[in-house]
Chain A
Amino acid sequence: MGDQNERACTVFIVDDEPAITDALSTFASMLDLTARSFSSAAEFLQFAESEGLPDPACLIVDVRMPKINGLELIERLTTLGIDIPAIVMTGHGDESLKQRAEELGAVAFLEKPFRPDEFKEIMRLAVGTENDP
């Protein structure tokens, strides 16, 4: 990580768990990425709709959140025509969730607790996906 494209990438972290948003945003900053955290899907949707998303950007979202869960968030973004590579995280992964995430076009599915190296690789993949035509 660390070339011009990656440095410019903004990582949006959406999780209702403050420890996760704090740890991942610190981690993303460590990788020279710009990180922005949101504690709910609604909060992120409002931001994306009102301010638009920078390019390049990627989304890291937890599945299990109150009101609008992570997979519903991806669906709504697609409906709104907002295209952003998404990494889906979950603390209780099962095959059907993973399959659903893939169907929705998620670039990766991470089961908590994941290895930070694994996370770094997936970030690289997400950023790469964003830069591919």
Chain B
Amino acid sequence: MEPNGKTNSKTLELQDSRYDVEFRMQTKCGEYRWVQSRGEALRDENGKPYRMAGSIRDITERRRAEEELRQLQEKLAHVARLSTMGEMATGIAHEINQPLTAVATYSHILKHMLDAPTTDKQGIQKTLDKLEAQTLRAGDIVWRLRNFVKKSPSNREPTDLNALVKDVARFVDPDIRQADVSLQLSLDDTCPNANVDTIQIQQVLVNLVRNAIDAMDETPIDQRSVTVATQIREDNIVDVSVCDAGTGLREDAFELVFDAFYSTKQQGMGMGLAISRSIIEDHGGRLWAESNHTVGTTFRFTIPHGDSHGGPK
């Protein structure tokens, strides 16, 4: 076995006398091939193993096809993020202009203070602190943007989903304010970390929240609300939901909305939910829509957590 070959250590433990392992081998000509080896110990009536039976398969092509598909999905998700960013550009520009205006004004005030006959050191210090805070705030917005649109290979790491939801809430704040929507977070403090690609799950949530906002175009302003909730379920699963108070979906649209190029909006590619679903399924979870009992729709997804699920692929 090639030393860097990845193996599935869980199945190497020979549970029930069976094994199933994938690894790389180097051929005589120096080429690496992926191999799957499966088998089991056959036992006699006393439970004593007397023979090993199994198969060895070259799965290099399957592995290559899976990797190509994964890369294509990543590229598509990246294009979708760029598209989302384009749609959010106006609001983001507004968001950045706020601290910039404050920075320009505080700078002018400081010049004035320095020109004054007596130096108000305390006042200057206080204004400099505000200037610094607003500069960092502008930098933070740019950092979040850059992070969201960057093209990087999928990277799954233990992530606090509640913190992720709060980040998304800050990210969509310009849209929330523009649409006069109230955003509520209902977060389960007991949620454990889940092994996810942070940017991809952010992308799903940004998509769901922006859809929720769009769904409330015709809802009276004082009734426009989106609730993002996290909840731990008993079966090693975290449940994340985005609930709107919009017009709701037609009965036949609950599945159709996840089809590629399906859209009820004038803008957008109609790819958001299709990509979101593939991201969630790739994480071992599910994404679906359900009707609220009163008004609007809830989009809900699950993410497995813990050692038994959701490990890196």
Contact = CB atoms under 8 A, between A and B. Distances in A.
Nearest to B104: A113
A33 B93 CA distance: 30
B247 interface: no
A7 interface: no
B221 to A, nearest CB: 7
Interface stretch (A23-31, A50-58, A80-88, A98-106): A23-31
Contacts of A16: 177
A39 to B, nearest CB: 13
Contacts, number: 70
Given A64-B177, A91-B93, A116 B98 contact: no
A64 B105 contact: no
A64 B92 CA distance: 13
A26 B127 contact: yes
Interface of A is mostly: mixed
B108 interface: yes
Given A67-B180, A112-B98, A92 B108 contact: no
Contacts of A17: 98
B296 interface: no
A114 interface: yes
A115 B101 contact: no
Interface of B is mostly: helix
A17 B177 CA distance: 11
B93 A19 contact: no
A91 B108 contact: no
B248 interface: no
Contact of B134 (A19, A24, A91, A117): A19
B55 interface: no
Interface in A84-133: 89-92, 112-117, 119
A112 B99 CA distance: 10
B269 interface: no
A86 B98 CA distance: 20
A112 B100 contact: yes
Interface of B: 90-91, 93-95, 97-109, 112, 127, 130, 134, 137, 177-178, 180, 221
Given A19-B102, A26-B127, A27-B108, 6 more contacts: A20-B98, A20-B102, A22-B102, A23-B106, A64-B94, A66-B180
Interface of A: 16-17, 19-20, 22-24, 26-27, 30, 64, 66-67, 89-92, 112-117, 119
Which 6 pairs from chain A and chain B are nearest by CB? A116-B108, A91-B94, A23-B105, A91-B97, A113-B100, A19-B102
21 contacts: A19-B130, A22-B130, A23-B105, A24-B105, A26-B106, A26-B109, A26-B127, A30-B112, A64-B177, A64-B178, A66-B177, A90-B94, A91-B93, A91-B94, A91-B98, A92-B94, A112-B97, A116-B105, A116-B107, A116-B109, A117-B108
